[in-house]
Structure formats: C-alpha cells, structure tokens
C-alpha cells in the first residue's frame, strides 16, 4: 500500500514537533511505501531537507504557496472565460456558500489553465465585486480586491498542483494539506485521513489576530478562508484524528462530523530514553534545566530567558540548556543571544541541533514556554527519561503534567500561564531547589508515559486505520519491510 504524507511547513525541512512525528510514523511502518508531498512557502526552500529518508520513502514532491505562473493562455490580449458552471463554482468559493470544490478541482487541472489569467480575469473580478456588494461594501473596493487576489493565489497554486497518486492520503493538518488530500480523493478515489496535532484553523486565527500585516475586517476575511479550507478536509476525510479530548471538541465546533474523529495520542519510543548517560563532572553542583525546542517566536524563548534570570538570583546553581536549531528564524535567535548578553547571564547554553539522548540524562527537569502547542513530544521524551517538566498552559500540556480522568499518577511538573514571568520563574525556583520533588514528579511522568503514550500504542491505533483502508481497497497487508524491488 502506498501512503502519501502531506505536510505544511515542517517535514522534511525542520526538526522536532510534527516533523519528528512524521519521521517516526514513516520509520514505524517500514512495511508501507511512503511518498511525501511537502507544502512550503517558495522555491528558495526547495530540497533543503534535514532528514535522511528511509528506504520506504520513494518520492518527494513540493508545492509552493508563492510561485510563478508557468502557463499563460492569453492570446491577443484576451483572457479565457469560465463556463457558467465554473463561474458558479468560483462564486460559491468567494461567497462561501455550498462550495462546489469538485468543479474547481476539474477547472484547475485543465491543460490550458492559467493561475494568472484566473486571478486577474473578468470572472474573478465579477465574483469579487458581488462578494464586496453583499458583505464588505463599507471598505475600499480596491483594497478588498487585492486582498482577495493575494489570499486566493496560494490556494490556486495548491489546486493547480499535479498531485501524485497513492492509495491513502495522510494529511498532517487541514488547511492547504486538507485541500490537497481532498483533491486526491476526488481524482483517485483514495482514502483520506487527517491528523491534527494542533487545530490548524485555530492556530491560523491566533496568528492573524496578533499579526501586524493585516488589520481590521481583513483579519476576518483571512480567518474565513482558513475555515472554509478546513471544512473541506473534514467533509472529505474518512478518518480524522486528534491528540486529546479538548482538540476533538474544537474539531466538532469547526464542523467535523463527530463519528469521524478518533483520539490518537502521541507516542514515544520509551526504550530510546532508558539508561541515558547521566551527569558529567562539569555538571557537579548544577541544577540543569533542559529546553528542547526550535529557537523561534512560537516557543517564546525570550520569556524563558528572562524568567531564568530572575530564578537564578534565588537559586544560583541553575543552568539553562537551550537545545535545538537556531537557524529557523535567525533574527529572533540573535535577539535571544543578545538578551543573554545584555542580562549578563551566566549558565545559559545554546547547543544548536543535537541528539537529545546525549543531553537529556544530564538534565534535572525540562521546560517549555510556548505560546502554542499540541501535545509536545519533548515533554513525553522527558517523562520517558524520568524528568519532570515546566510548561505553559497550551494544547495538552496541562493533562500531560497533571493527568486526565484516566490516571491518578500525580503531578509530573508545573503548569504556568503563557508569558507569565513570575509564574515561570517561581516554577524554576520550586523545582530547582527541591531534589526530592523532582524525583517524585519524574517518577509520576514516567508512569504516565508508559501507561498512555508509548510508540507501541500509537502504532497500534494507526495500524488499525491503515489496515482498514487496505481492506476496503482489497490491497492486502504485508508485514515484511517495503522493498523497491
């Protein structure tokens, strides 16, 4: 069976988080053939892979959200007009009214179709004008029109993509990935599963609310665009997975049929974190705090550094290890380096990209100060190494640390509010000054991960999904590793 993994802005270009999950899935199901369909911003990122592909990855395809139109159909100054059915489909998309996606898919895959002609053509202008009159007549039309053009251009490039054929499309988000998966189901009749680690629509909404480049009612226009794409994915998917119960509630709220949703928590290979190397001679007398993350704004490393500076005044032997790549947002990373220097902070180490197993055994506890997360693997990996965690109250962090309805193992760390310097600093002080508490919480976390978050349990759930799809298609199920021969 051939599975196409569709990912936006992560695998195989960045490490950690969802990328690690995808890499784990591909390697776990070595008996399946995988192809990768990666959504990236533009061609400047093309081919810059940071993962080594295993033998069962046979193809990698890219789709660019910002690109050039390589086909023009204009002749003697004329642009191709849409048929009546095609125009109604465009109209349904712009007005967000019973969208005829299938007609749009067929339109965008016509041999002579041009994205440039479509966006700049009379038909798009007419649909935009109608939408403006019905819903947005209080704003300047020219601004509205160019906003629509810029908003629909990435979607146009996605729908124009010559997608690869597969038996199953596994989209690791809704949004543009969900559009590609839905389009594949239309053309190939394949099965479609969507796995959300964070709720894509809500994450985009949070980003847009905070964004400086878009203001006022235009924020709502962009948010509605992401909602309509997510609804398409939910409607067309055969299965939709999420990581925890509250995420399921959000998916239902956003229009996903409840009977499609299955909660499938992340899982870690706990054996990889057994018998890790412990503290070294250089760690003598230090309380090591490990932050395994990408140095980027969403991880809010600046707040972590500031909180550490306050905590270190009370517990002088604290040492902060920031472990992960610093090249995703070089400007932000430099601001973090500068902050450490400005605060004259000792005992802050930026390791860059590492094998976490070489460092995690040396840590006394881990920390995550993100402003958005799903179900962080770094917390689970820390638990597998019996390390408690401090984390902000985002995603599923509260349940991971304090437990849910199913378990009574006790607290495995401390949860704080987002960007709350005092709470984060106090949490560092509390764990940093109490070894007995750290050990107890580390044991609680270990029991929790072994009971609910092992890679074997995750594999079992996804194996059931994949086997069901194979059975529906009459494909059979092979146990031996995939071979191109």
Average pLDDT rounded to a whole number, residues 422-438 = 97
pLDDT for the residue 185:
98
Residue showing tokens 């991971």: 400
Q: Please give the Cα distance from 122 to 127 (Å, whole number).
A: 9
pLDDT for the residue 477:
87
DSSP sequence for 366-422: EEE--SS-SS-HHHHHHHHTT--EEEES-TTHHHHHH--TT------EEEE-TT-HH
Residue showing tokens 């009214």: 97
Reported as a pLDDT band with limits 50, 70 and 90, residue 273 is: very high
The residue ranking higher by pLDDT, 79 or 305, is 305
Cis peptide before 12 (omega within 30 of 0): yes
Average pLDDT rounded to a whole number, residues 200-219 = 89
List, in order of start, the domains of the chain with CATH numbers.
2-67+161-263 (3.40.50.2000), 84-151 (no CATH), 271-452 (3.40.50.2000)
Model confidence pLDDT, tens digit, residues 42-84: 999 999 999 999 999 999 999 999 998 766 554 444 567 899 9
Model confidence pLDDT, tens digit, residues 219-252: 999 999 999 999 999 999 999 999 999 999 999 9
Residue showing tokens 């146990």: 479
pLDDT for the residue 270:
93
pLDDT for the residue 112:
86
pLDDT for the residue 210:
80
Strands 365-368 and 287-292: what pairing?
parallel
Residue showing tokens 């041999």: 111
Q: Is the pLDDT of residue 34 over 90?
A: yes
Mean pLDDT computed over every residue of the chain: 93
DSSP 8-state code for residue 299: G
Strands 239-242 and 191-195: what pairing?
parallel
Query: Shortest CA distance to 438 belongs to which of 383, 393, 478?
Result: 383
Q: Residue 38 forms beta bridges with which residues?
A: 7, 62
Contact call for residues 290 and 323 (beta carbons, < 8 A) = yes
Q: Please give the Cα distance from 109 to 160 (Å, whole number).
A: 6
Q: Please give the Cα distance from 1 to 149 (Å, whole number).
A: 39
Query: Shortest CA distance to 366 belongs to which of 303, 323, 315, 302?
Result: 323
pLDDT for the residue 485:
64
Percent share of the chain, pLDDT over 70: 98
Q: Please give the Cα distance from 297 to 370 (Å, whole number).
A: 8
pLDDT for the residue 76:
44
pLDDT for the residue 473:
86
Model confidence pLDDT, tens digit, residues 386-407: 999 999 999 999 999 999 877 8
The residue ranking higher by pLDDT, 62 or 353, is 62
Percent share of the chain, pLDDT over 90: 84
In 142-213, the DSSP E strands lie at 168-171, 191-195
pLDDT for the residue 77:
46
Q: Is the pLDDT of residue 24 over 80?
A: yes
pLDDT for the residue 79:
61
Cα radius of gyration (the chain): 24
DSSP 8-state code for residue 137: T
Distance separating the N- and C-terminal Cα atoms of the chain: 14
Model confidence pLDDT, tens digit, residues 286-303: 999 999 999 999 899 999
pLDDT for the residue 206:
85
b/e code 408-428 from CB counts within 10 Å (16+ = b): ebeebbbbbeeebbebbbbbb
- Three-class DSSP category at 321: strand
pTM of structure? 0.88
Model confidence pLDDT, tens digit, residues 125-149: 999 999 999 999 999 999 999 999 9
Residue showing tokens 């021969």: 485
């Amino acid at each position: 069976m051939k599975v196409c993994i569709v990912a936006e802005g992560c695998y195989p270009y960045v490490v950690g988080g969802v990328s690690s999950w995808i890499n784990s899935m591909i390697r776990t199901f070595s008996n399946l053939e995988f192809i990768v369909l990666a959504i990236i911003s533009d061609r400047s990122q093309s081919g810059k892979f940071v993962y080594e592909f295993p033998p069962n990855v046979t193809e990698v395809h890219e789709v660019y959200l910002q690109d050039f139109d390589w086909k023009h159909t204009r002749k003697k100054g004329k642009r191709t007009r849409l048929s009546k059915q095609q125009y109604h489909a465009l109209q349904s998309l712009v007005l967000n009214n019973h969208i005829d996606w299938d007609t749009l898919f067929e339109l965008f895959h016509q041999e002579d179709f041009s994205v440039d002609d479509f966006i700049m053509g009379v038909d798009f202008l007419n649909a935009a004008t109608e939408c403006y009159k019905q819903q947005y007549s209080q704003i300047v039309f020219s601004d509205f029109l160019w906003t629509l053009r810029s908003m629909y251009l990435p979607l146009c490039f996605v729908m124009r993509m010559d997608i690869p054929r597969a038996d199953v499309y596994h989209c690791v988000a809704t949004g543009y990935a969900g559009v590609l998966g839905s389009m594949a189901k239309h053309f190939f009749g394949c099965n479609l599963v969507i796995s959300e680690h964070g709720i894509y629509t809500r994450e985009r909404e949070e980003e847009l609310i905070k964004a400086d480049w878009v203001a006022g009612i235009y924020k709502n226009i962009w948010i509605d665009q992401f909602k309509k794409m997510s609804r398409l994915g939910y409607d067309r998917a055969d299965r939709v997975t999420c990581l925890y119960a509250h995420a399921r509630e959000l998916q239902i709220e956003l229009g996903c049929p409840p009977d499609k949703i299955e909660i499938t928590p992340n899982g870690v290979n706990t054996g990889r974190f057994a018998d890790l190397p412990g503290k070294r001679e250089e760690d003598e007398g230090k309380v090591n705090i490990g932050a395994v993350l990408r140095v980027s704004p969403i991880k809010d490393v600046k707040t972590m550094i500031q909180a550490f500076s306050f905590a270190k005044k009370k517990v002088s032997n604290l040492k902060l290890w920031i472990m992960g790549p610093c090249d995703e947002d070089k400007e932000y990373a430099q601001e973090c380096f500068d902050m450490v220097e400005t605060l004259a902070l000792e005992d802050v180490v930026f390791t860059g990209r590492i094998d976490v197993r070489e460092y995690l055994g040396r840590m006394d506890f881990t920390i995550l100060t993100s402003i958005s997360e799903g179900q962080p693997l770094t917390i689970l990996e820390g638990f597998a190494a019996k390390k408690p965690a401090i984390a902000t109250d985002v995603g599923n962090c509260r349940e991971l640390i304090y437990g849910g309805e199913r378990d009574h193992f006790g607290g495995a760390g401390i949860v704080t509010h987002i960007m709350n310097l005092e709470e984060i600093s106090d949490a560092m002080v509390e764990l940093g000054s109490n070894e007995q508490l750290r050990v107890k919480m580390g044991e609680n976390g270990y029991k929790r991960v072994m009971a609910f978050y092992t890679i074997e349990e995750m594999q079992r759930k996804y194996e059931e999904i994949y086997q069901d799809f194979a059975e529906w298609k009459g494909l059979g199920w092979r146990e031996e590793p995939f071979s191109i021969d």
